[in-house]
Amino acid sequence: MEQIKTYTLENNITILAEHIPHIQSVLLGLWVKQGSRIENTNQYGIAHFVEHMLFKGTKKRNAKQIAESLELIGGDLNAFTSREHCCYYAKAIAEETDLVFDVISDIVFSSNFDALEMDKERTVIAQEIDMYDDSPEELAHEHLVQTMYGSGLGHPVIGYKKNVDSFQRDEVLDFHKKFYQPSNIFLSVVGNFDNFDIKELSEKYFSNVPNLNLKSVPPKQELQHSGVKAVIKPIEQCHLTLGWHAYNITHKNRYVLHLISAYLGGGMSSLLFQDIRETHGLTYSIYSFVRAYKDVGFFGVYSAHSKESTSKILELIKINIEKIINGDLSTQKLVQLKSQLKGGLLLGLEKTSFRMNRIGVGHLYFDQVMDTDTLIQLVNEVTAEDIIKVAKEVFLQSPSIINVGNLEQEDLESAVQESKIL
């Protein structure tokens, strides 16, 4: 069982630390409990913009010095923004643990938000937006979320160019002050910190952050929609996503849904891969996935194929889903799927990044980090009857269907109708 110690500073910042004595590194993650979902219409992309700006200079380091601070000693410094949280993380050899804490605290709480740097970063983010727009797979996933939900979840984390161009320095500073404060932040530390006192380091670098006692902004209740949408791109392949409304991230059936995903499209041995790629040769890439948030979630399928195959692809997806609903999952296969899920968990624990994220997600959504034995037990308790029940709950709804490629709306609707998937 993992030993995760918890400390809370006087200003209310929580630290969760997992000691791993057999490795030579330390990984620190600073989590902000809210992401793009809390942005209003005029702020789309501001959480992501703040993330970029925190790397552009502080009171004691310029942008180059920030980049070099860990890279030149073989370490890593990075961040990500999602719809429901942000994370800034740094990794280095164990003897540099103090530096890891120093750099993270410096960029998050002492950034300059220089106006000239902000102008340069608008151009950088515009290039990033263009990069995503040039990726049809990314677009297919993004349009699926936009189709299924309201404005909170339904706008891109990265925002739109018009929003990014409009951000004023005072507005960005205000957003940072409001959300980057102790009641909205916690730390996850993973690695070999034998020679350091994590609580003392946390107090050294984070105790001076003032607690404004601001209440977290609750997410707006998401509206759930469905639809069929063709996004025209002059490319050869079709990039198809389907989404069925399912469960939120804490729902008791989440493990059942992940087992269904493993069975339907979780690798080369899955139903969709073996049938649509191996037997029919209709696609190069096909997989299923689960996306879950605080209050909602969905089950998805992605396929890349020629536009002539769209109707057949949809038909075969429907046929394979019906197999699950009709209970074709054997006892032996269910045991294999459980082994697949448990193996992924246990192998993931060999990576400090996996452990850091597991601690972060556990604290964010469950107020605890479940030990491995408990997680494995929850997976082991899933029955074939559970699989059928959940499959019916999810797949007897009409899915949302998005296609990115050279396929007109009427042709997509015709393919959907031919396949009888709705």
Active-site residues, by number, are 51
Secondary structure tally for the chain: helices H, strands E = 17, 11
Q: Are 14 and 363 in contact (CB under 8 A)?
A: yes
The encoded tokens of residue 347 equal 């192998």
Contact 239, 140 (CB under 8 A): yes
Q: Are 378 and 117 in contact (CB under 8 A)?
A: no
Q: Which parts of 192-326 are beta strand (E)?
A: 228-232, 237-245, 283-292, 297-306
Cβ partners under 8 Å of residue 268, min gap 6: 274
DSSP alpha helices (H): ranges in 349-383? 352-361, 372-380
- Kindly report the number of other CB atoms within 10 A of residue 386's CB atom: 17
Q: What burial class does residue 65 get, using C-beta atoms within 10 Å of its C-beta: 0-12 exposed, 13-18 middle, 19+ buried?
A: middle
What are the residues whose beta carbons fall under 8 Å from the beta carbon of 383, sequence distance 6 or more? Answer: none
For residue 121, report the phi and psi dihedrals to the nearest 5 degrees: -70, -25
